[in-house]
Amino acid sequence: MIALARDHLSAFEQGASALPISLRPAFLPLALSRAYLTKMESGSPIDGVARLSALRRHWLLLRRAGKGWPAL
């Protein structure tokens, strides 16, 4: 499932530049997806829900918002 999620994320990243500027902020939370997928890969499914610290989440969102698009 993680590999499938990575495939879908890559497909989105390739087409992100075609999004209208007015819709781009709605997709900003996708900046967290790669970090969550990496966290899930490194842990065991028995460990429970993959969590990122609040600081890391905010840093990833700020960095992505500052870079602009299409640089996902």
Question: Which tens digit of pLDDT belongs to each residue from 11-59?
Answer: 998 888 888 888 888 999 999 999 999 999 887 777 788 899 999 999 9
User: What is the reported pLDDT for 49?
Assistant: 85
User: What is the reported pLDDT for 72?
Assistant: 47
In Å, the largest CA–CA distance within the chain is 40
Confidence (pTM): 0.79
Q: Rounded to whole angstroms, what are the CA distances from 22 to 18, 69, 70?
A: 12, 12, 14
